[in-house]
Amino acid sequence: MIKRLGLAAAIFLFTFTGESRSEDDFQYWSRFQIKALDTNYLDFITFAELRMNEDASNLGFWQTAQKLAYDPWKHLSLGMNYTYLESESFQRRTRDTEFKHHHRFELEINPSWGWKDKLKLKNRNRFEFRWIEDQGSDHTRYRSLWELDLPLKKLGPLVSLYTNNEFFVDFNGEEINENRVTPLGATFKLYKKSTLKIFYMIQSRKGVSDWFSNQVIGSHVSLTY
C-alpha cells in the first residue's frame, strides 16, 4: 500500500512542477459543501469557499457555486455549474486593493476508473466561461484535474488517501498559466453522510515575467442529504 501511494505521489508531484518553488505565500483554503440532491443519475451540489492569504491572515478570495451533475454511466459524470466569486485585486492607480466580482458558467466532462476497489483514478475536465468586473468576458479557460485515490479499510475515520494535479489553460493567452499539485490529501468520515478532506497543495501561477508559487493547507467538509 505504501509503495503504491509513494509512486502515485511522485508521479503527480513532478508533473508540471518544474517552476514550483512554494516560497511566496502560505494560504489556508476552507470549503463547506452540501449535496442537496443525491440520486442514481442526477445530483445537485452547492458550496461556499474562503481563501486566506498573506500567511493566512487576510481574506483575499471567496466564492459560492451551484453544481448540477448528470451521471449517465457509472464511470462518467457530466456537469453544468454557476459560480460567483470575489477576489482581492491590487489597483496600480490608487496603490490599494479592492474586491472584483466574477461570474462563471462551467461545463464538465468527468470520467473515472477503478481497480478492484483498491485504486481509483478520476479526471475532471472543466470549461469555464468567465466574466470579470471591468475586464469583460474574454477569459475562457480549460482546467484538467487528475486524481489518484487509495481507499483504506479498518483505519477508523480515515477512509482514503489521495494525490492530484490540475493545470489551467488560458484560451486568450494560449498558454498554461496555473498549476496546482496536491502531493498528499486525506479523507475522513465524520458521520454517516459527511466527510472531511485535509490536504497540502502547491499552487503555481504565471506572472508577467516568471512563475510564483503558494503553499496551501486546505480543508473540505461535505454533507449529503
Please count the structural domains in the chain.
1
| pLDDT (tens digit per residue) in 55-77 | 999 999 999 999 999 999 999 99
Q: Is the pLDDT of residue 19 over 80?
A: no
Q: Domain range spanning residue 148?
A: 2-224
Q: Is the pLDDT of residue 113 over 80?
A: yes
The reply to whether the predicted model has a pTM over 0.85 is yes
Which H helix or E strand runs over 98? strand 96-115
Q: How confident is the model at residue 1 (pLDDT cuts 50, 70, 90)?
A: very low
Distances (CA, A) of 78 to 121, 127, 171: 16, 12, 22
CATH number at residue 102: 2.40.160.40
- pLDDT for the residue 58: 95
Q: Could you tell me the three cell numbers for 43? A: 445530483
| pLDDT (tens digit per residue) in 28-51 | 999 999 999 999 999 999 999 999
Over residues 82-101, the mean pLDDT reads 86
155: DSSP letter: S
Distances (CA, A) of 216 to 133, 135, 164: 26, 28, 14
